């Protein structure tokens, strides 16, 4: 879908990964993440395998490393949490310099760190190579209940609208001298949030009227169902297939 | 093209506010009619009745040769295209193409026919390039035109527009006049923008406190300063309807 303004997470491109149907990428992501989380943390070589798969996919997608790494910032809270665990973990502890580090804690830290990073990396890849409308259509073709897809679609559609309204309210408050410094100054913000909720609710009613006016009768019109060739599925799921092989090998070895 | 006949329409909101009070008027097929009136006069309430979004306590609405009732609701909604005041309320799908397809898909057309309708509706408003775009990234004028395309795609023969010029810049407003004048449809346009109504609609109705208080040639109504003042309607400073040539 060229020509559309993209989301901040999206990198416009024409690579084979971009052109892959969204449902294949969704299934691939799910299989990859399940393989990663089902691997025991001590199988360090397996995680190198997963990272390699991800890096090859990244290379094929032509998404610049810099773009990818900056979007990986979403992983930071997990990293910080993981780094904390060895210091608060249980016995036995080992002494490293002045610190007593928990051994099981160290292992859990590694476990969280590597799995969260690989999962976030794969998700960032999906977001970078797939436009939002395609993702929604992919979910619909994967037979995710249409009501859920519709809710997700409305959320994406109106997030900007509602955020824009809140921004304007904030500016209007600042223009009349509101300058929140402490938690006690938060009341006007909370009131504005409440007003925004009511406005959004009323907007919801107007949108519903607009839907009724165009013949909405409670069932969502289904989008076209182009058949995807078996070959495309197989090629598209190759990285996920390798991940499954790595996961099985890690279990057996 | 189809006509519209409203007979003895009355409506009050649940809090007993009388919004419409015995409305009677008729629009011939192909006519373009302005609906003027101060804030709170009942303009939008009247529009919401025309495709059954609000149901009156009394009175009948005849669209083409159908009298509005539960049995023909879907058919009437297909014939009456409603363009809402805020395009953000009307454009709710992820892309313009999907939004324009929403009506035809609901009315049960096949995929190929839906695609054809999307294409021709967007071409009619001159915005074919917008098909893959997200509605919230469009300009005000583009949004308005796409909102009109969403009702053209269902072959609506009677278009009902609520404040179509609000939030448009002068160029967008000009394009809108040209577009609406070129459509082969009956139009009922609510607006506070009197020059816009004068240019587009040869005939106008004035509604105040739930009643039609005037019905006539737009220019004659606008020349009647007393009538305008009585119903809180005002021409822009320096604007004289007597000096404006017919379209």
Residue B145: pLDDT band with limits 50, 70, 90: very high
Contacting residues of B for A200, CB less than 8 Å apart: none
Question: How close A56 gets to chain B, by Cα (Å)?
Answer: 30
Task: Give, in order, the Cα–Cα distances in Å from B154 to each of A115, B95, B108, B129, B176.
Answer: 50, 18, 11, 20, 20
A66 plus A162 within the same structural domain? no
A124 plus A201 within the same structural domain? no
How confident is the model at residue A5, as a pLDDT?
A: 47
| Structure token digits, residue A156 | 């994406």
How confident is the model at residue A219, as a pLDDT?
A: 77
A51 plus A176 within the same structural domain? no
Is residue A62 included in any domain, yes or no? yes
A127 plus A239 within the same structural domain? yes
Q: How many CB pairs under 8 A join A and B?
A: 90
Mean pLDDT calculated for residue range A77-83:
87
How confident is the model at residue A223, as a pLDDT?
A: 59
A58 plus A129 within the same structural domain? yes
Is residue A100 included in any domain, yes or no? no
DSSP 8-state assignment for residue A219: S
The overall average pLDDT reported for chain B is: 92
Mean pLDDT calculated for residue range A153-180:
84
Nearest CB neighbour to B102, from listed A154, A156, A214: A214
A150 plus A133 within the same structural domain? no
How high is the ipTM of this complex?
0.80
Residue with more model confidence, A8 or B48? B48
Question: Cβ of A217 and B92 within 8 Å?
Answer: no
Angle at B89 between CA A150 and CA B98, to 5 degrees: 50
| Structure token digits, residue B230 | 């009585």
Q: Give B186-221 pLDDT, tens digit per residue.
A: 999 999 999 999 999 999 999 999 999 999 999 999
Is residue A245 included in any domain, yes or no? yes
- Of the ranges A36-40, A161-165, A195-199, the best mean pLDDT one: A36-40
Is residue A160 included in any domain, yes or no? yes
Taking domain B4-231, whether its CATH number is 3.30.565.10 is answered by: no
Mean pLDDT calculated for residue range A223-231:
76
Mean pLDDT calculated for residue range A222-228:
69
pTM greater than 0.80? no
How confident is the model at residue A1, as a pLDDT?
A: 35
Question: Cβ of A210 and B151 within 8 Å?
Answer: no
How confident is the model at residue A224, as a pLDDT?
A: 60
Chain B, nearest residue to A213 by Cα:
B77
A156 plus A57 within the same structural domain? no
Q: Give B65-93 pLDDT, tens digit per residue.
A: 999 998 999 899 989 999 999 998 899 88
Written in H, E and C, the secondary structure of chain B is: CCCEEEEEEEEECCCCCEEEEEEEEEECCCCEEEEECCCCCCHHHHHHHHCCCCCCCEEEEEECCEECCHHHHHHHHHHEEEECCCHHHHCCCCCHHHHHHHHHHHCCCCHHHHHHHHHHHHHHCCCHHHCCCCHHHCCHHHHHHHHHHHHHCCCCCEEEEECCCCCCCHHHHHHHHHHHHHCCCEEEEECCCHHHHHHHCCEEEEEECCEEEEEEEHHHHHHCHHHHHHCCCCCCCCCCHHHCCCC
Q: Best residue in B49, B92, B107, B112 to probe A by mutation, most A CBs within 10 Å?
A: B92
The overall average pLDDT reported for chain A is: 87
Question: Cβ of B74 and A215 within 8 Å?
Answer: yes
Question: Is A42 in contact with A48 (CB distance < 8 Å)?
Answer: no
Domain that holds residue A183: 145-213
Q: Give B225-245 pLDDT, tens digit per residue.
A: 999 999 999 999 989 888 887
What lies within 8 Å, CB to CB, of B128 at 6+ separation is B119, B122
Count of residues in chain B = 247
């Amino acid at each position: 879908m060229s020509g559309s303004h993209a989301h901040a997470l999206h990198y416009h491109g024409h690579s084979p990964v971009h052109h892959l149907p969204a449902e294949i990428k969704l299934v691939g992501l799910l299989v990859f993440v399940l393989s990663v989380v089902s691997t025991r943390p001590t199988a360090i070589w397996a995680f190198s395998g997963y990272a390699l798969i991800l890096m090859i996919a990244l290379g094929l997608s032509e998404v610049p490393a810099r773009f990818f790494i900056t979007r990986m910032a979403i992983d930071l809270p997990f990293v910080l949490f993981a780094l904390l665990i060895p210091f608060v973990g249980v016995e036995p502890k080992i002494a490293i310099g002045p610190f007593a580090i928990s051994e099981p804690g160290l292992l859990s830290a590694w476990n969280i760190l590597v799995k969260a990073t690989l999962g976030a990396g794969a998700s960032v890849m999906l977001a970078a190579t797939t436009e939002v409308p395609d993702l929604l259509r992919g979910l619909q073709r994967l037979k995710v209940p249409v009501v859920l897809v519709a809710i997700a679609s409305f959320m994406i559609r109106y997030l900007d609208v509602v955020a824009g309204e809140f921004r304007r309210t904030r500016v209007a408050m600042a223009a009349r001298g509101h300058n929140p410094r402490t938690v006690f100054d938060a009341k006007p913000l909370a009131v504005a949030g409440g007003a925004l909720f009511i406005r959004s609710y009323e907007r919801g009613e107007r949108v519903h009227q607009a839907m009724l006016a165009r013949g909405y009768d409670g069932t969502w019109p289904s989008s076209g169902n182009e058949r995807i060739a078996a070959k495309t599925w197989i090629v598209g799921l190759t990285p996920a297939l390798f991940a499954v092989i790595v996961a099985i090998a890690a279990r057996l070895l | 093209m189809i006509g519209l006949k409203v007979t003895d329409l009355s409506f009050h909101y649940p809090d007993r506010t009388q919004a419409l009070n015995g409305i009677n008027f008729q629009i011939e097929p192909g006519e373009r009619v302005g609906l003027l009136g101060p804030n709170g006069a009942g303009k939008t309430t009247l529009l919401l009745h025309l495709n059954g979004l609000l149901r009156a306590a009394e009175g009948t609405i005849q669209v083409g040769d159908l009298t509005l009732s539960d049995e023909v609701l879907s058919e009437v909604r297909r014939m009456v295209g409603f363009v809402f005041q805020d395009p953000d309320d009307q454009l709710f799908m992820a892309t313009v193409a999907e939004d324009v397809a929403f009506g035809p898909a609901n009315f049960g057309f096949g995929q190929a026919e839906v695609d054809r309708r999307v294409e021709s509706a967007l071409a009619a408003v001159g915005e074919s390039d917008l098909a893959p775009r997200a509605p919230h990234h469009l300009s005000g004028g583009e949004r308005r035109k796409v909102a009109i395309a969403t009702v053209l795609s269902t072959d609506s023969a009677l278009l009902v527009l609520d404040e179509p010029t609000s939030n448009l810049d002068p160029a967008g407003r000009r394009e809108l006049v040209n577009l609406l004048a070129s459509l082969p449809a009956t139009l009922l346009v609510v607006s506070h923008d009197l020059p816009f109504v004068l240019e587009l609609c040869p005939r106008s109705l004035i509604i105040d406190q739930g009643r039609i208080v005037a019905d006539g040639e737009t220019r004659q109504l606008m020349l009647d300063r007393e009538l305008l003042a009585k119903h809180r309607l005002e021409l822009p400073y320096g604007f004289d309807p007597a000096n404006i040539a017919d379209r």
